Amino acid sequence: MMSEYRLLIDGQLVAGAGRMDVLNPANETVLAQCPLADLDQLEQAVAAANRAFPAWSQTPIADRQKKLIQVADAIKANADRVTHVLTGEQGKPLEQAAAEVGFAEIFCRHFATQELSSEVLLEDDKQRVEIHRKPLGVVAGIMPWNFPFLIAVYKLAPALLAGNTLILKPAPTTPLTALILGEIVKDLLPPGVLNIITDNNDLGAALTKHPNIAKISFTGSTPTGKAIMASAAGTLKRLTLELGGNDAAIVLDDADPKKIAAGIFGSAFLNSGQVCIALKRLYVHESIYDSLCDEIAMMANSAVVGDGMESGTQFGPVQNKAQFEKVCHYVESARQTGKIIAGGAIPDRPGYFVPLTVVRDIEDGTPLVDEEPFGPVLPIIKYSDLEDVIARANRSPYGLGGSVWSSNLDRAHQVASRIDSGTVWINQHCAFGPHIPFPPAKESGVGVEWGKEGLEEFTAMQVININKLG
Over residues 335-353, the pLDDT tens digits come to 999 999 999 999 999 999 9
Specify the pLDDT at position 173.
98
| Mean pLDDT in residue range 417-421 | 98
Same domain flag for 252 and 338: yes
Whether 34 is catalytic is no
Over residues 252-304, the pLDDT tens digits come to 999 999 999 999 999 999 999 999 999 999 999 999 999 999 999 999 999 99
| Mean pLDDT in residue range 151-158 | 98
Same domain flag for 227 and 256: no
End-to-end alpha-carbon separation of the chain, Å?
64
Domain count, the chain: 2
Is the pLDDT at 371 greater than 70? The verdict is: yes
Over residues 422-455, the pLDDT tens digits come to 999 999 999 999 999 999 999 999 999 999 999 9
Specify the pLDDT at position 187.
97
Same domain flag for 103 and 43: yes
Q: What's the rounded Cα separation, in Å, for the pair 55 and 45?
A: 17
Same domain flag for 178 and 265: no
Specify the pLDDT at position 417.
98
Specify the pLDDT at position 3.
60
- For the chain, percent of residues with pLDDT exceeding 90: 99
Same domain flag for 103 and 209: yes
Specify the pLDDT at position 2.
43
Specify the pLDDT at position 327.
98
**What angle (nearest 5°) sits at the alpha carbon of residue 281, between those of residues 262 and 87?**
60
Inside any domain, residue 191: yes
Same domain flag for 347 and 211: no
- Residues 108, 276, 293, 430: which is the catalytic one? 276
Q: Say how many C-beta atoms besides its own lie within 10 A of residue 395's C-beta.
A: 11
Inside any domain, residue 470: no
Same domain flag for 28 and 42: yes
Same domain flag for 373 and 452: no
Specify the pLDDT at position 341.
98
Contact 91, 319 (CB under 8 A): yes
Residues in contact with 72: Cβ distance below 8 Å, sequence separation at least 6, in sequence order? 105, 108, 109, 112
CATH of residue 141: 3.40.605.10
Same domain flag for 111 and 29: yes
Residues in contact with 95: Cβ distance below 8 Å, sequence separation at least 6, in sequence order? none
Inside any domain, residue 78: yes
Same domain flag for 324 and 448: no
Q: How far is CA 433 from the centre of its chain?
A: 12
Is the pLDDT at 1 greater than 90? The verdict is: no
| Mean pLDDT in residue range 375-381 | 98
Inside any domain, residue 186: yes
Is the pLDDT at 237 greater than 60? The verdict is: yes
Over residues 179-205, the pLDDT tens digits come to 999 999 999 999 999 999 999 999 999
- Residues 242, 372, 449, 457: which is the catalytic one? 242
Is the pLDDT at 72 greater than 80? The verdict is: yes
Burial of 58 (0-12, 13-18, 19+ CB in 10 A): exposed
| Mean pLDDT in residue range 306-318 | 98
Per DSSP, 319 falls in state: S
pLDDT band of 470, cuts 50, 70, 90: confident
Same domain flag for 188 and 270: no
Over residues 88-140, the pLDDT tens digits come to 999 999 999 999 999 999 999 999 999 999 999 999 999 999 999 999 999 99
pTM above the 0.75 mark? yes
Specify the pLDDT at position 21.
97
Inside any domain, residue 80: yes
Inside any domain, residue 439: no
Same domain flag for 251 and 238: no
Domain coverage including residue 199: 7-243+444-465
CATH of residue 400: 3.40.309.10
Strands 279-285 and 377-383: parallel
Specify the pLDDT at position 134.
98
Whether 430 is catalytic is no
